[in-house]
Copies of this chain bind each other. A is one copy, B any other.
Amino acid sequence: MCEGKPAIVLSVGTELTEGIIQDTHIRFLASELTSLGFTVCRGVEIPDNARQFSDELSRATSEASLVIITGGLGPTTDDLTRETVARAAGVPLEFHAEVWEALQERFPGRKISDTNRKQAEAPRGFALVPNANGTAPGFHGDVRGTLVIALPGPPSELRPMFNQSVIPILAARFATASEKDILWGTALMVPESSLEEALQAARRGEVAWGTRVDEDRIVFSLRGGTGSDRAGSLAALAASLGPVRIREGERRPAQLLTDALLARGVSLVTAESCTGGLVGKYMTDLAGSSRVYWGGYVSYSNAAKTGMVGVSPEILETAGAVSEETVIRLAEGALSRSDAGISIAISGVAGPDGGSADKPVGTVWMAVAVRGGDTMARLFTFSGSRDMIRRRSAVAAMLFAEARLLGRDFLDTRTKW
């Protein structure tokens, strides 16, 4: 049985229980619902099977006050969510002509197969949840006193629907926060545990939070309390972890650097060793990156550091490839060999081998050079696997360059991340 304000998520699709695709809805909804004050007592992946679906739904509505169903809203006979919810609620399906018209308008000049008419149906008495990014709307209504919300499977449809429509529905029903009562933020270069401690210390009034860990950042939401409680919590968090690490809104490091490059009207050149092209990859993940990214040198071997960017073999010999001297020369060499306005250089020990007592795995030197300004170098110490050290290095490099462009103080880089 469930305790607190109990919620259950059902993720429907045989492609899930056969392991063909990875479910991501349970995690997304669990995170969102937790930060809205719900206790998620179960996330269940079930196949497109009428009996199992009915059993799960019946069990879920008997235990939770909120059940969210994802998937099963497509046009095929495998898609069982409408029928299953209608049966559980004891109502027939109802055809929504306006949905059918909108669906036909999405494909002007094309004949829409009649099997799609199903997508214009919903259990009688249930309200529709609009879907701006797909053909099938969701719906919400009561099954034996439990609020049941059905949403489509594609994440690009579900996530905006959750933010735009489901949060207000939950706010109306459960007195949770609505979207305008949520303050979103991003934590960068902060371990999850440190963010949690800092959030606790920064908390004002009745503010609660939820976090989502991405590859290059942690997104957090502040909910509850008054608007000034939330703003105060965010400000206190930024004061404790620093304005480089804490940003308002959902931001990506590559986007932050891109914005700073656009604001200064300069382009970037990279010289990457241990990250092997990852900063270039992150910068060019963004559409339109050609406006700000000139190019990069992946100076992986020592010969490449010399041949591509002109680091002298003597420096590589005496100071080593992972050293302040080397990254300064990489940054200045890359800048002078380009039309860019700023350069980043990275050289470190990503592991798992190659560490020494002097330069253990996780030791990463970085330098940023600008035209007509001082070159700055920093020593970082990262923890984790090879993959984590490389990702953390790339994120730190982008923020280091952003700080230099904006004339901001950078971080205490001795702190382990």
Contact = CB atoms under 8 A, between A and B. Distances in A.
Interface in A133-191: none
A263 interface: no
Interface in A257-280: 267, 269-270, 272, 274-280
Interface in A352-366: 352-353
Contacts of A1: 51-52, 55
A379 interface: no
A281 interface: yes
A337 B308 contact: yes
Contacts of A31: 18-20
Chain A interface, DSSP helix/strand/loop, else mixed = mixed
A295 interface: yes
Given A52-B2, A294-B304, A295-B301, A18 B44 contact: no
Instruction: Give the interface centre of A19, A192, A270 by most chain B CB atoms within 10 Å.
Output: A19
28 contacts: A16-B26, A17-B40, A18-B31, A19-B26, A19-B31, A19-B32, A20-B31, A21-B27, A26-B45, A42-B46, A42-B56, A44-B44, A272-B280, A275-B284, A276-B283, A276-B285, A277-B296, A277-B298, A280-B280, A281-B281, A284-B300, A284-B350, A290-B300, A295-B297, A295-B299, A295-B301, A296-B300, A303-B338
Interface of A: 1-3, 16-24, 26-34, 40-47, 49, 51-52, 55-56, 192, 210-213, 267, 269-270, 272, 274-281, 283-285, 287-290, 293-301, 303-305, 307-308, 337-339, 350-353, 386-387, 390
